[in-house]
Structure 1
Amino acid sequence: MTDILNKAKSIEEYIINFRRDLHEHPELSGQEFKTQEKIIKELDKLAIPYKKAGNTSIIATLKGGKNGKTIALRADFDALPVKEETDVEFKSKTLGIMHACGHDAHAAMLLGAAKILSEMKNEIPGEVRFFFQEGEETFSGAKKIIEAGGMDGVDACFGMHGMPELETGYVNIEAGYRMAGCDTIYVKFEGVSGHGSVPHKAKDTIHPACIFVTDLQGIVTKNIDAQDPIVLSVGKFVGGTKANIVAKYTEVDISMRYFNLTVREIAHEAIKRHAKAIADAYELKVDVRIEESALSLCNDEQLAVIADKSSTKVLGEGKNINLPRYMGSEDMPYYFQHAKGVYAFMGYRNEEKESIYFPHHEKFKIDEDYLKYGTALHAQFTLDFLNN
């Protein structure tokens, strides 16, 4: 059997250098034009055909020497509006923008996997698609690749994210829900303005909106099964214009995290019902608008088994560690609507290198030793799935 990890180690310097170049020149979601150019240049060297999608995304296709299934591998490559505060020699040269979520590493690992697999082209029974994706941070990039036909005919998809809960050389791959879905809910109460000295002649919205905010947690505890976690957080509350003017409008913005789609529907209906009940009680109008941000991520059971075996080949026995589900969100689940998929969390923690920070921190730093493992896992899972 081909030792994929050794192949990844043989190109480790290439992967690290490419990652560092991306880190030094980060670009925000939907604006990753230079990043796209750099990846295309490498794909041309590898003679892997590609097409552009969305604003800056790339769909590259490697056809194997034999007929078979089709697998899609995905990496994101957008950065964040964060001012970098690390001491690395390749720190961001763009003020106020930083690869603080490790997407530079994700793109470099996928490119490394493409390099390995392209050299094994004749041995591959099927087709491999490489998605280099824009705009994960805005939950927009996956949809653009899907709209461009990227998932047409795909049998399985695979992705990964670096995480600091795991030491370098360890991974988390489990079946079932692994990341939460995310919705933003906008609630606007409308009353009648008036003078603060005679509130009974007006219809105040601030007091009812306060009751609504307090009431929200009753939905979590009384309408939702405690075995299905959900988070409702009010992040914005805006009402009124002046102390002595009764507020005609009050707006409440809610972030909701969930796993179970049925729970999501129950919560949506409950929020609408409670908002209307409170509005009716105070003779107000209310508008509830729900904006879908991302779906919950659920790993396919069979693919999780294959990926676990792949991780053992790459990392060794006992390196797949259980982790709690994350309440954070990803746009990877949109691919899972079109084909079964699995998503892995790769460890980059190394305290000696200060690789300890959770994504989105200004001192975010990965242990670059993890790059070869992620590269190898991409390639190993591809071969294992296509040969299964």
Structure 2
Amino acid sequence: MDIIAEAESIEEEVVSFRREFHQYPEVSGHEVMTTEYIREHLEKWGISYRLMEPTGIIGVLGSGSSTTALRADMDALEIREETELSFQSQNTGCMHACGHDGHTAVLLAAAKILKEHEDELDHRIMLVFQPAEETAQGAADLLETGILNQADKIFGLHIFSGIEKGKISLEPGARMAATNWFSIRIGGKSGHAGKPQECVDAVVTAASLAMNLQTIISRSINPLESAVLTIGRMEAGTARNIIAGEAVLEGTVRTFSREVQEKIRERMEEITAAAAQMFHAEISLDFQPASHPALWNDEDAVKEVMKKAVTVFPKKDFVHVPPMMLGEDFANYLNEMKGCFAFIGGGGKYPNHHGMFDFDEDVLVQGVKLMLVFASV
């Protein structure tokens, strides 16, 4: 039997893996039970492995002069699950709302099949079960260990609910955005709500900044360039009759080029400085370096994978998906070595990072097949 065709026979097992991970989600850097579950299975199947610190595990299969790495992220989010699935999260306030449970299950199932055919492999396979993708720290930390220096190429995938079930997007070039985090702290002067002339209102200052910062994208960036500036958190005030003396804005910037990223930072500095002068407030901007670059798929790697993929999947399964402004720390790997990252449609009604997020488990076999395709090139 063809090794990739064997993915069909492992459907029940890959679903059980996914449900186990889904029931016991763990946030970034705390994937202790998840790591142990994977370790137990790798050991049971006779796959050598290396445990990472504090979490994460890398399995190794095969032998040869070249090495291909397959990566799955395994952390969950601090989100209260609302799905009422029979296997919903047992960890209150924590949920696999981004498909990482599926990614980990897919790689674990692929590992079992690859082990059964280890003597047929003409190269080494590294099974990278990576922690802390949601904090954009896991890939960078793993690269720092040097363990991936021996890998020649790396592949990964992501299940998205916004793509039709089972459809695959495997395309060269820009696929996901670079991510910068920022925080703005405003220092004003609090006082009685009835005496605003004696105060420096941090709320008014914050509101003005929240609006004016949006003009950076619409008026300072070339409309043909893609960029997003989002303020996701605003905090100010203690009571309805007290003018707030402090406020905090936190958000993210998403870009595909360093030039645009730098232009946004410069304009944010100019606008915050102008707001400080206008409102007589003290304002500090902390614009953090990108946690990862934009994710660009290597054209040669995509061509190499597609030669094999078109013999496994019908042509109708491949669709075009425009680049996303979402971040993905897999980009750090592609900054160091060749490889590519695929999107798989999960169906479902709710977007990733939503308390009702779920995907059709039929796509798990699709994911296993794609991992095996990656392993074969």
**TM-score above 0.5, yes or no:** yes
Work out the CA distance in 2 between the residues paired with 1:245 and 1:372: 58
Instruction: Indicate the residue corresponding to 1:174 in structure 2.
Output: 171
SS where residue 356 of structure 1 aligns? coil
Contact 2:203 2:244 (C-alpha < 8 Å) held by counterparts = yes
Going from structure 1 to structure 2, the CA distance change for 1:370 and 1:250 (only over 3 Å counts) comes to: closer
Alpha-carbon separation, structure 2, partners of 1:123 and 1:58: 24
SS of 2:249's partner is strand
- The aligned counterpart of 1:257 is 254
> Tell me, what secondary structure is at the counterpart of 1:14?
helix
Find out whether 1:119 has 2:116 as its counterpart: yes
Within 5 A, what are the aligned runs for 1:1-388?
Answer: 3-64=2-63, 66-67=64-65, 69-86=66-83, 88-192=85-189, 203-241=200-238, 247-291=244-288, 292-349=290-347, 355-384=348-377
Are the aligned partners of 2:50 and 2:59 in contact in 1 as well (CA < 8 Å)?
Answer: yes
Kindly provide the CA deviation profile for residues 112-136 of structure 1, in whole angstroms up to 9, marking residues without a partner as x.
2222222332332322111111222
Give, in whole Å, the separation in 2 of the partners of 1:208 and 1:86.
39
Q: Distance in 2 between matches of 1:19 and 1:381?
A: 20
| Distance in 2, Cα, partners of 1:177 & 1:73 | 20
Aligned residues: 376
Q: What is the alpha-carbon distance in structure 1 between the residues aligned to residue 286 and residue 120 of structure 2?
A: 52
Q: Taking structure 2 as the reference length, what is the TM-score of the superposition? A: 0.89
C-alpha distance in 2, partners of 1:206/1:307? Answer: 53
Give the superposition deviation at 1:198.
6.3
TM-superposed CA distance for 1:173, in Å, is: 1.0
* Secondary structure in structure 2 of the residue aligned to 1:331: coil
| Percent of paired sites with the same residue | 36
Q: Distance in 2 between matches of 1:105 and 1:295?
A: 24
Deviation by residue 1:61-119 (Cα, 9 ceiling, x = unmatched) = 2232x32x222111112223334344544333334433222222111110122222223
Could you tell me whether the CA contact under 8 Å between 1:59 and 1:150 is conserved in 2?
no
Instruction: Assess, with a 3 A threshold, how the Cα gap between structure 1 residues 195 and 112 changes in structure 2: closer, same or farther.
Output: closer
For 1:345 and 1:9, locate their aligned partners in 2 and report how far apart those are by CA, in whole Å.
20
Give the gaps of 5 or more residues in structure 2.
none
> What residue identity is the alignment partner of 1:233?
T
Residue 147 of structure 1 deviates from its aligned partner by: 2.5
Whether the 8 Å CA contact 2:70–2:374 is kept in 1: the answer is no
Could you say what secondary structure the match of 1:315 adopts? coil
**Letter of the aligned partner of 1:253 in structure 2?**
E
Letter in 1 for 2:146: G
Any conservation in 2 of the 1:23–1:98 contact (CA below 8 Å)?
yes
Given residue 148 of structure 2, which amino acid in structure 1 is its aligned partner? Answer: M
CA gap of 1:108–1:194, structure 2 versus 1, over 3 A, is closer
> Which stretch of the first structure deviates more once superposed, 289-298 or 6-15?
289-298
Aligned 8 A contact 2:49 2:60 in 1:
yes
Letter in 1 for 2:300: Q
Q: Which runs of 5+ in 1 are unaligned?
A: 350-354
Rounded Cα–Cα distance in structure 2 between residues aligned with 1:16 and 1:247: 51
Q: Distance in 1 between matches of 2:301 and 2:99?
A: 24
1:52 maps to amino acid:
L
- The equivalent residue for 1:352 is none
User: Pairwise CA RMSD of aligned residues?
Assistant: 2.5
- Separation (CA, whole Å) in 2 of partners of 1:149 and 1:121: 25
Mapped partners of 2:120, 2:143: distance in 1: 28
What does the per-residue CA deviation read over 1:271-326, in whole Å, with 9 as the maximum and x for residues that have no partner? Answer: 01221123234444321102345432221111122233333222122321001222
